[in-house]
Amino acid sequence: MSSMDTQRISFLRAHLRRGAALLAMAGFAAGMGSSAAFASGNGADAATSTAAASTQQSPEQFGDIVWNPSDWEKARARQMAATPGPMAMAVARWQTLQKQTQPAFNDIANFITLYPGLPSQDRLQSKAEGRLSDEYVDPARLVSFFERNPPLTTQGQASYALALRAMGRPEATTMARKAWRGGDMSPTSEATLSAMFGGAFTPADHASRMDSLLWEGATDAASRQLRYVTGDKRTLFMARLAALQGSDPAMLGISLPRDAAGDPGWLYNRARQMRSSGNLAGARALITTAPALTHLPDNPFSFVREMRYNAVAAADAGDIGSAVKIALKANEAFAPGTDVSTLSGPIRDEYEKLFHTIGEKAMARGDAANASRMFAIYGASQLTAPARSKGFYFAGTTAAKAGMGNVAKAELEKAAAYPDQFYGQLALEKLGRPLKVPASTLPTPSNDARVNFNARPLVQASREVGRTGDWRTAVAFFKELGRQAETPEEFALIAELARETGRRDLAVIAGREASTKQLYQFSRYAFPRIDVPIGTEKNWAIIHAIARQESQFATDAQSHVGARGLMQLMPGTAREQAGKMMLSYNSSALIDDPQYNIRLGSAYFARMLDVFGGSYPLAIAAYNAGPGNVGKWLRSNGDPRTGAVDWVEWIEDIPFSETRRYVARVLENAAYYDALYPDSGNASGAYPLFYYMGKKPGQ
């Protein structure tokens, strides 16, 4: 028997055992009804029997399907008991390739060819292309791969050009010119391209390559490339290279061409050199007096980042006007009309940091008009619902402070378009509109759409990772499914997949993507229910809100710091709480028994709620960061319970970014659960969020 056969048999046995256990658990829970396990005083028994002692909630109607909360567990048990399919080994291979630092190109190329569309495909391909300078690949194989998957790196383009030439393909020269313009590559590829295609490279090709190298900071390659550039461009590039190497070009006797001030590369290199040498005022003056850029920068990410550094420095020096002007200069990195939210993550993230930070600093300085302008740009540039709603909300509230009523209303309307978000719910109150849950009316996919959906490798792999119990891998695949979905029909198919596999976390993750795309037909799937232990009903909405944020309802979730299960309890906290409840502590039950996890998590939250006098935001913050940290923040930032500081401002001032986001997410979840399921939740009325924040509308 081969090692691969042995691995496959072990894989199958492990999943069959786990599936059988889950089926037994599901059958036990369904057959026993309620139980007095916790009243027996036998903590060990209680830790494994709590699934029976739970509230039974009414079923829901999804189209023609009647669905009970317990049906998720039954579907999950069926999945776990089923025999793993052929994609199981593909998922295992994907995990291996992710961990390898120097995988062979052919290994990744073969994998991507067989299983296109899996998570991190671009990352894997880029990693493989990096090996091409040291690894021989058959030209025909390379050409075949790149025809289906165009190269993502300059090294990949160079290798593609050489492979095309070896195959006698006429497009080799075009690809070689593209690679040459792209910038840095291995010295071997650089020399080979120059020798084989040098006669075809134009002065514009050489200038473009020099520009790219200077943006990348590749000083050695740029020094070699300088001999190919002539005229004013050579002088400009010499000045940029000097700045890149930390020198003032004027001190080296380099006179700039007349139009250098509008060159984005010069502005970037010179501003960076001045800032790095401590001449912040000089860098600020350089940028704020620069004319409009003569062309788009080769590297918009680096340009935007340099503008951010200098804008923040200006704001910290008290010069909000210059900070705003520098921030707006970043817009010249893109063609007019560019939707920044559609750009790559790194560029979008830099842009977000720039405008959000300057918006906050302008607001802190009392410049509400400029703050509103910055927040509006920030909101429009973002991809996710939390970020967009936050940007638009603050654009609206700061516009109101600046006396710009029409602008305020328009921005708040944009925020209110995200009713499942914290800032969307705040915006609804500002506009005097109640929180209303859109109808969950998913379309019925056609048979052809369903066949095509289920034929995709990503969908097949998602079924497998939904079975394996490897939560982190499952999350990666589920997020990719949501990212690739665009239409209500596609999200309806994901809803079917979530229901068939018993994966509430897939429903939650895809639901967040649907929310970002403002497709709210998915709401009831995106906010699933779970039966809670008898005695915890008072915290029904908070249990759901925390579980949705902590684990997305994945009972097998384990964080990198060791938090476990549905409500992500740290073992030490769980042990302490079990002791206070006179229960035996069972570490494995934190994952194997969701009801045990909920019972401990709910009791710990109730304890935090009592510590902080019934304040939900403070208790939520303590659940995430610990009561000691919350006490420190109350002392340093004020106590919003007294009215001395606004609740929203206090939450935004939480120094831990994870906790800051966490408080907003759990509050919005609780309010939305109350709106979705008013018979089960805590709050009533038009603004359930305000119940949890201890506020009244208008405050």
- Residues known to be catalytic: 550
How many Å from the N-terminal Cα to the C-terminal Cα in the chain?
Answer: 72
Task: Measure Cα distances from 208 to 234, 298, 381, 466, 586 in Å.
Answer: 12, 9, 29, 48, 64
DSSP string, 384-422: SHHHHHHHHHHHHHHHHHTT-HHHHHHHHHHHHT-TTSH
- The rounded distance, in Å, linking the Cα atoms of 516 and 387 is 10
Task: Measure Cα distances from 313 to 278, 290, 326, 347 in Å.
Answer: 11, 18, 10, 20
CB 374 within 8 A of CB 362: yes
Burial class (CB in 10 A: 0-12, 13-18, 19+), 397: buried
By C-alpha distance, which of 109, 170, 167, 171 is closest to 135?
Answer: 109
- The rounded distance, in Å, linking the Cα atoms of 158 and 170 is 15
Neighbours of 277 (CB within 10 A): 13
Report residue 501 as tokens: 């596999």
Ranges assigned E (strand) in 4-95: 60-62, 65-67
DSSP string, 119-174: TTHHHHHHHHHTTTTTS---HHHHHHHHHHS---SHHHHHHHHHHHHHTT-TTHHH
Beta bridge partners of 65: 62
- The rounded distance, in Å, linking the Cα atoms of 190 and 196 is 10
Burial class (CB in 10 A: 0-12, 13-18, 19+), 95: middle
Radius of gyration of the chain (CA): 29
SS3 content of the chain, % helix, strand, coil (to 5): 70, 0, 30
Report residue 217 as tokens: 């900071």
By C-alpha distance, which of 65, 75, 30, 47 is closest to 531?
Answer: 30
- The rounded distance, in Å, linking the Cα atoms of 638 and 390 is 23
Q: What is the 3-state secondary structure (H, E, C) of 494-561?
A: HHHHHHHHCCHHHHHHHHHHHHHCCCHHHHHHHCCCCCCECCCHHHHHHHHHHHHHHCCCCCCCECCC
Report residue 131 as tokens: 């090996």
Report residue 323 as tokens: 């900070």
CB 374 within 8 A of CB 391: no
Report residue 253 as tokens: 């006797």
Mark residue 114 as left, alpha or beta (left: phi above 0; alpha: psi -120 to 50; beta: remaining).
Answer: alpha
Looking at residue 262, its amino acid is G
